[in-house]
């Protein structure tokens, strides 16, 4: 009896020991060896970035020329003032604009410059005096009586980063220092909003982070026309000649690019890399048959059918084999001899002056009629030289739209100097840089937060060190970009935001993330069961047996006690 009891005890002990060994050694070992490698990610910092609090700081210098300040006011000058505006864009995003205004009086050279006969000359000579850093704005305040500006204009915005503001009538301004500020501040803010950014621009740039609500669709239309921010763009000019038998077209694209596009591109160099190429496509047809309008003696394309024009052409355009940057297409279509002239009509059936249209985030098409350049009896083929100035005027305007440089109409009373040979004023570039920086930051934060979420949700994904380093460099660059925005260093902020977006995209699209993603559970079990089932069932059964015996014994004891 005693020996069987001892034997039974020993058996129980053995079963328990095996169970313990399985749990203590086996399970951790199995866990360790089948674990996927997941490098450490700065999750807390990413979560911080998910709640984006942007602060954009603009340095504004307000320079009073002689005759704008009362002696009392002059005593207080120079001084600085900060003006904050806070907007809550949505639950996760807050934007705060800080205008750091520095008020001072003009020095002698600036006074001289402001005495130039026209505003444009004044702008130029002011520019030669001092160059203001990227992202800042200088506002020169001139007396009401100044003849620098036309009578009905109050503000002049030049080609650089300077604006001239006409002071209101002295009685409206008042004598007091406070009154002066009260008078000036809204107007200076208005100037800055034109020259740097307005709240609607910033909201549009942040659209990546925002959920689209039906209400703000229309306000986003402008922002959706332009291309998304990207480190580089490919600009492709294509001449479509559907009828090489009749028309021999020659276009001096190299010269045109050099004189019209290149200055703009050079100016935009800090924003992105541009590469330009051109091609001629023969026998490239439009997707729709234009309708003959006998009253005009011309073929017409309606606004409704424009939508179908591009697709068949696009197959011929070809993508850029050598890079993956977005492509901006500009097509010049010369209708064939039997279908010309060809005019584009708008929704109200009126012909469009430029005979061109554009498609958001794709590019533009211009129809160039050549039929009136040769007589009826001219033998085919005709050699035709295309007037590139006319063509490039249209393409340049379309390019500006595609890049998001829509010249939002200035408020009344503003005189905006037309941009010069570069095709882009300094402040327009600044404006673009502000919105691109904010857009980059928004995109990079969304990318990195969604990556973090994804990695968090799917435990099977291997996170190797390369991805971890990309993620942390994204986070660092993002933090730096936000910090630079906060102090108003626009150039650096853009630089860092570009780095952030590149790194975040490299991390997000890293092919190594896909390796172990797809493992159906049923197959895993198919492999585990032959081993686990025969091993675990005896252990479990003996454990159950031990437990039930123990319970019985306790019951027995209890009944004995009773």
What is the spatial distance between Cα 59 and Cα 135, in angstroms, rounded to a whole number? 8
Quick one: DSSP state of residue 261? Answer: I
Nearer to another protein, 33 or 82 (CB): 33
Nearer to another protein, 58 or 313 (CB): 313
Give me the least distance between CB of 507 and another protein, in Å please: 12
Give me the least distance between CB of 148 and another protein, in Å please: 21
Give me the least distance between CB of 490 and another protein, in Å please: 23
CB 482 within 8 A of CB 444: no
Give me the least distance between CB of 271 and another protein, in Å please: 17
CB 516 within 8 A of CB 463: no
Instruction: Give φ, ψ of 220 to 5 degrees.
Output: -85, -10
Give me the least distance between CB of 186 and another protein, in Å please: 29
CB 468 within 8 A of CB 39: yes
Give me the least distance between CB of 37 and another protein, in Å please: 10
Q: How many CB atoms lie within 10 A of CB 33?
A: 7
Nearer to another protein, 78 or 318 (CB): 318
| Structure token digits, residue 481 | 């970009």
Spell out the residues 6+ positions from residue 377 whose beta carbon is closer than 8 angstroms to its own. none
Nearer to another protein, 68 or 449 (CB): 449
Give me the least distance between CB of 147 and another protein, in Å please: 23
Instruction: Give φ, ψ of 419 to 5 degrees.
Output: -65, 150
Q: How many CB atoms lie within 10 A of CB 547?
A: 10
CB 389 within 8 A of CB 359: no
Nearer to another protein, 57 or 371 (CB): 371
Q: Which of 383, 386, 391, 346 is nearest to 366 (CA)?
A: 391
DSSP string, 401-424: HHTT---PPPPTTEEEPPP-TTSS
Nearer to another protein, 331 or 481 (CB): 331
CB 356 within 8 A of CB 365: yes
Nearer to another protein, 176 or 275 (CB): 275
Give me the least distance between CB of 149 and another protein, in Å please: 19
Nearer to another protein, 148 or 249 (CB): 249
Q: Which of 344, 373, 359 is nearest to 401 (CA)?
A: 359
Nearer to another protein, 135 or 290 (CB): 290
What is the spatial distance between Cα 483 and Cα 56, in angstroms, rounded to a whole number? 9
Nearer to another protein, 62 or 463 (CB): 463
Give the torsion through C-alpha atoms of 482, 483, 484, 485, to 10 deg: 50
Nearer to another protein, 64 or 251 (CB): 251
Spell out the residues 6+ positions from residue 296 whose beta carbon is closer than 8 angstroms to its own. 343, 351
Give me the least distance between CB of 300 and another protein, in Å please: 14
Give me the least distance between CB of 301 and another protein, in Å please: 10
Nearer to another protein, 142 or 256 (CB): 256
CB 62 within 8 A of CB 77: no
Residue 429's alpha-carbon distances to 328, 362, 441, 458, 515, in angstroms, are 19, 22, 18, 42, 43
Nearer to another protein, 231 or 491 (CB): 231
Give me the least distance between CB of 40 and another protein, in Å please: 21
Give me the least distance between CB of 236 and another protein, in Å please: 8
The interaxial angle of helices 465-487 and 490-508, nearest 10 deg, is 160
Give me the least distance between CB of 443 and another protein, in Å please: 7
Please give the distance of CA 320 from its chain centroid, rounded to a whole number.
Answer: 21
Spell out the residues 6+ positions from residue 494 whose beta carbon is closer than 8 angstroms to its own. 270, 271, 433, 436, 437, 440, 481
| Structure token digits, residue 376 | 């009826």
What is the spatial distance between Cα 441 and Cα 497, in angstroms, rounded to a whole number? 6
């Amino acid at each position: 009896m005693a020996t069987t009891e001892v034997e039974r005890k020993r058996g129980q002990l053995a079963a328990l020991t095996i169970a313990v060994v399985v749990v203590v050694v086996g399970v951790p070992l199995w866990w360790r060896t089948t674990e996927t490698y997941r490098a450490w990610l700065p999750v807390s910092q990413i979560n911080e970035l998910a709640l984006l609090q942007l602060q954009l700081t603009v340095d504004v210098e307000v320079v009073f020329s002689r005759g704008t300040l009362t002696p009392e006011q002059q005593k207080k000058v120079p001084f600085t003032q900060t003006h904050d505006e806070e907007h809550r864009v949505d639950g996760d995003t807050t934007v705060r604009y800080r205008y750091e205004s520095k008020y001072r009086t003009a020095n002698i050279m600036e006074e001289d410059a402001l005495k130039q006969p026209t505003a444009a000359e004044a702008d130029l000579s002011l520019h030669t005096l001092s160059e203001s850093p990227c992202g800042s704005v200088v506002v020169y305040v001139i007396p009401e009586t100044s003849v620098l500006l036309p009578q009905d204009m109050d503000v002049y915005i030049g080609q650089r980063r300077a604006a001239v503001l006409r002071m209101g009538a002295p009685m409206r301004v008042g004598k007091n220092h406070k009154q002066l500020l009260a008078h000036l501040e809204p107007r200076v803010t208005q100037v800055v909003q034109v020259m740097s950014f307005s709240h609607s621009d910033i909201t549009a740039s942040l659209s990546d982070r925002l959920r689209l609500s039906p209400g703000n669709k229309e306000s986003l239309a402008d922002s959706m026309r332009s291309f998304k921010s990207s480190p580089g763009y490919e600009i492709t000019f294509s001449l479509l000649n559907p009828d090489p038998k009749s028309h021999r077209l020659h276009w001096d694209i190299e010269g045109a690019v050099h004189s019209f596009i290149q200055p703009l591109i050079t100016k935009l160099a800090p924003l992105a890399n541009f590469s330009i190429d051109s091609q001629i496509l023969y026998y490239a047809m439009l997707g729709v048959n234009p309708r003959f309008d006998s009253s005009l003696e011309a073929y017409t394309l309606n606004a409704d059918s424009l939508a179908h024009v591009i697709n068949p052409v696009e197959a011929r355009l070809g993508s850029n084999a050598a890079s993956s940057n977005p492509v901006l297409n500009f097509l010049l279509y010369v209708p064939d001899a039997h279908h010309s002239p060809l005019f584009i009509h708008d929704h109200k059936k009126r012909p469009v002056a430029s005979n061109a249209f554009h498609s958001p985030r794709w590019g533009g098409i211009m129809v160039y009629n050549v039929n009136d350049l040769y007589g009826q009896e001219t033998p085919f083929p005709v050699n035709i030289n295309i007037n590139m100035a006319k063509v490039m005027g249209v393409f340049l305007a379309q390019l500006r739209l595609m890049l998001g440089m829509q010249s939002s109409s200035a408020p009344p009373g503003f005189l905006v100097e037309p941009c010069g040979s570069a095709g882009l004023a300094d402040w327009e570039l600044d404006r673009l840089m502000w919105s691109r920086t904010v857009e980059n930051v928004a995109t990079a934060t969304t990318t990195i937060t969604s990556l973090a979420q994804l990695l968090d949700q799917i435990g099977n994904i291997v996170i190797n060190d390369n991805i971890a380093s990309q993620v942390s460099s994204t986070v660092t660059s993002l933090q730096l970009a936000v910090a630079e925005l906060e102090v108003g260093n626009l150039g650096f902020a853009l630089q860092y935001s570009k780095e952030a977006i590149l790194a975040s995209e490299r991390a997000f699209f890293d092919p190594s993330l896909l390796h172990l993603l797809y493992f159906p559970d049923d197959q895993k079990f198919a492999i585990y069961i032959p081993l686990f089932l025969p091993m675990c069932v005896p252990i479990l059964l003996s454990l159950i047996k031990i437990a039930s015996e123990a319970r019985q014994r306790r019951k027995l004891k209890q009944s004995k006690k009773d």
